[in-house]
Structure 1
Amino acid sequence: MIIKKFQAETEKEAILLAKEELGKDAIVTNIKTIKPKGIYKFFKNSKVEITAAVDDTVNGEEDSLLSSFQKLINENQLSKQTETQKGRIFDKQADNNVPVFEDVKSTYSSEIEKRLDNLQNLIEKQIKPTEEKATEEVEEEIIGDNEYIKLIYKQMLMNEVDEKYANQIISEIEATLQTGAPIDKILTSIYQKLVLKLGQSETIELGEKKPKFVFFIGPTGVGKTTTIAKIASGFKVNKNTKMVLVTSDTYRIAAVEQLRIYANILGVPLKVIYSADELSQSKEEFNDYDIVLIDTAGRSHKNTEQKDDLEALLNTIDDSMKEIYLVLSATTKYRDLVRITETYSTIANYRVIFTKLDETICMGNILNVKMMTGASLSYATWGQNVPNDIGRLDAQFVAKKLLGGSD
């Protein structure tokens, strides 16, 4: 990314200078009026300074994100032109291939001319110091650090990031940024902060101790059984892992039959258990297996008895031999996710799987749950295809989505 500043008597001349040196693909990231200082301010005309940037890399992830965000800036500028578009960040005109320089010109040229006229009048009248100070405030940068950060903040809220977490991230970034930081620096800093907050995903790893008991918990309807089938298929096909499927979800006959079908296809055994005691008594049967995948029944946050049953089931296996995965849907309302995670708050050291990523355009809940629980993220699923439509949840992918970037 090449970023340079250009000064000229008028905005048009400054833009022409930028286009001549950086080429037609350059984008304007900032426009401001430079007012002469000291005694010279009565004798010299103000100048217009623009900051322009051009991408000198190919397929760079951060530059791609910068390009996406530049569209957001242009769209936000265009949205201010009419009352019907007030308060919106996105605008369909971004898809109309309108040259960026023309967008900037149409948005700001009349305003710049008006401000220059006002400045000339004030100089001629030799205004008072207090009035000069007010004028200087008017002549500040049209769009600066705060405006860029506001756009990023709004973008995160549009992606349903909880306001308190968005504020926390922005506050941490503002504390580290220097005054006048360029847009690519601001955007990269927030992108890296999001990736850091999301953390590295953790998935099932087979250890020396056998078998590994893996529990899948979570509310009904989020796709636990299908997720188990996808994970089981991956281990069977890619690693030829010796495994057994277990279900304690005897509340729903359909769930047992669904898992039985997957077990038959994979050629692995299925065991149905009805209590924690039964699982405890059956542990020795699984000694020859590498992994035991256990489907549990969805629990209501209002049902104390079901909660106690689940905890008793989990406690039958020693911590060194088990992993617990909380399965959540990315389409669930955030308020409901708060209640769900509170239900499982007494269960320690679980990881989070998000399903149904293909059914939502907002990724905010992933960050919300991560920051709310502190639990490690794990797998993500998108669709019903077994063994496909599953993978490690990629923090960089989520961060780009939260900032409006493309895949």
Structure 2
Amino acid sequence: MIIKKFTGKNEEDATALAKKELGNSVVIMNVKTLKKGGLFGIFKAPQVEVTAAVEEVNDGNVSNNNPVTIPQHLPKPFAAQLQNTEASPEKDILRSARPARRVEDWKKSDIIQDDKEEGNKEKTRDEKAIEEKLDSIHTMIEQQMKRETRIAEEKQKHEDQDGEETEEPEEDDEITKFLKLIRKTLLDNDVEEEYVDEVMDEASKLRKPGISIDYMLSSIYQKLILKFGQTDRIEKENDLAEIIFFLGPTGVGKTTTIAKIASRLCVQQKKRVALITTDTYRVKAADQLRTYADILNIPFKIVYVLDDMKAAVEELKNFDFILVDTAGHSPKNDERIETQRQFIDVAKEVLKIKVYLVLSVTTKYRDLLNIAENYSRMVRYQLIFTKLDETTSLGNMLNLKLRTGSAVAYITNGQDVPEDIEVFNPQNIVRVLLGGKEVI
């Protein structure tokens, strides 16, 4: 894996630079705004820095016998643990853009590279946040391992007191206990077993004598983030309008989600936005969206038939974004699915389209698969997960992303408009999946 930072006048420019150098499969790991210090910095526009990562193709020519270089800035305990670690292609998964440093040399805060710009050696808030996340997960894992060890010892003691003949169990080393606990934690968070086993197999390949739990945890954390991949949020790509459809079953919060996104586009990004609804089955849904349109002072159209859709899109094609609410229905209702497909086909004759499938994270995984499969027959889509405030098990987000290959764009965590929506940040979700405290 290669990790590198890119700077631009905004996030889009910085991301474009990352894609140009590392390829379109690049994953944006972190975004932060850089402000110039000093008096003259007041008059300069801030820049945006993105930290990008991409999987590195192993050409098989890397020697396994290269000594590990221990940088002086590493804490002594961590450096000591790395002293006996041999370099290998498998462990070279977090290679920095600076070739002198190998993955074994990274500390937890280096998952997001150190910010040393203009001689400022203090950690940025983003770096501190990442380190705190890993620290809290590590502390939780250590406590859990101690509890399980104590329980096992007490059980063995009781068996010995009862006079039962028992074979002395082979003692697991700390890394084995750690991997077992990580596996259990992911399963408890409803990550499908096949994906858990995949992560565990990848992590097991990194095992070498003297390797630290810190390093293993950092590697698993990084691998899970990369499995979530890129985020596909709504952003202006050119001067042409874009029409965005929001699909999904009844009751997942499509209309409220559209209102949140419309509010952010209008108020924060100063974009020209229009709203359309094809949901003529529920009067309240249309009234709700009309109310939001009135508050934002933006156009609102109700579409009943295909000709209405074509006319509405033609009328609104000079806007930046046209957001379309659709009727929720059972995934078994082929007639309504076909109607929605026809609306989409009419719209894309005039404008570029994007489609988001809105799903509640509280829905059972089997039902999510059924819904996703039915909509995939109609159109390609990206994912929005709602109701994260109503559950602590977020494994279905990773399951569905890996099953469908669709990017996760947004998450919502409440009913308030426009506050309770965020661009998807895989770091926060992975932290929860690994047993950390909720940060959503």
Q: What is the TM-score with the length of structure 1 in the denominator?
A: 0.70
1:4-403 pair list within 5 angstroms: 60=131, 61-80=133-152, 141-179=171-209, 181-318=211-348, 321-403=352-434
1:45 corresponds in structure 2 to none
Change (3 A) 1:346 1:82: farther
Change (3 A) 1:181 1:315: same
Change (3 A) 1:77 1:243: same
The number of residue pairs the alignment matches comes to 311
152-161 or 306-315: bigger deviation: 306-315
> Which letter maps to 1:368?
N
Q: Aligned partners of 2:154 and 2:277: how far apart in 1?
A: 58
Change (3 A) 1:174 1:282: same
1:201-226 per-residue CA deviation (whole Å, 9 max, x = no partner) reads 22001122422101100111000000
Change (3 A) 1:139 1:5: farther
1:290-333 per-residue CA deviation (whole Å, 9 max, x = no partner) reads 11000011132211111111111111233871111110111111
Q: Aligned partners of 1:259 and 1:251: how far apart in 2?
A: 14
Q: Aligned partners of 2:418 and 2:401: how far apart in 1?
A: 26
RMSD (Å), alpha carbons: 2.9
142-151 or 74-83: bigger deviation: 74-83
How far the C-alpha of 1:81 sits from its partner, in A, is 6.3
Q: Aligned partners of 1:207 and 1:5: how far apart in 2?
A: 45
2:72 corresponds in structure 1 to none
2:341 touches 2:379 (CA, 8 Å); kept in 1? no
How far the C-alpha of 1:78 sits from its partner, in A, is 4.2
Change (3 A) 1:166 1:265: same
270-279 or 255-264: bigger deviation: 270-279
2:301 touches 2:312 (CA, 8 Å); kept in 1? no
How far the C-alpha of 1:155 sits from its partner, in A, is 0.2
Q: Aligned partners of 2:148 and 2:79: how far apart in 1?
A: 22
Q: Aligned partners of 1:365 and 1:269: how far apart in 2?
A: 36
Unaligned runs of 5+ in 1: 7-54, 84-106, 115-134
2:67 corresponds in structure 1 to none
Higher relative contact order (CA 8 A, sep 6+): 1
How far the C-alpha of 1:276 sits from its partner, in A, is 2.9
> Which letter maps to 1:392?
V
Q: What is the TM-score with the length of structure 2 in the denominator?
A: 0.65
Q: Aligned partners of 2:292 and 2:152: how far apart in 1?
A: 54
How far the C-alpha of 1:180 sits from its partner, in A, is 5.2
1:69 touches 1:405 (CA, 8 Å); kept in 2? no
Q: Aligned partners of 2:154 and 2:386: how far apart in 1?
A: 39
298-307 or 263-272: bigger deviation: 298-307
1:25-52 per-residue CA deviation (whole Å, 9 max, x = no partner) reads xxxxxxxxxxxxxxxxxxxxxxxxxxxx
1:145 touches 1:179 (CA, 8 Å); kept in 2? no
How far the C-alpha of 1:288 sits from its partner, in A, is 2.4
2:4 corresponds in structure 1 to none
Matched residues, percent identical?
40
1:362-397 per-residue CA deviation (whole Å, 9 max, x = no partner) reads 110110111110101101111111110111111011
Greater share of helix residues, 1 or 2? Answer: 1
2:206 touches 2:216 (CA, 8 Å); kept in 1? no
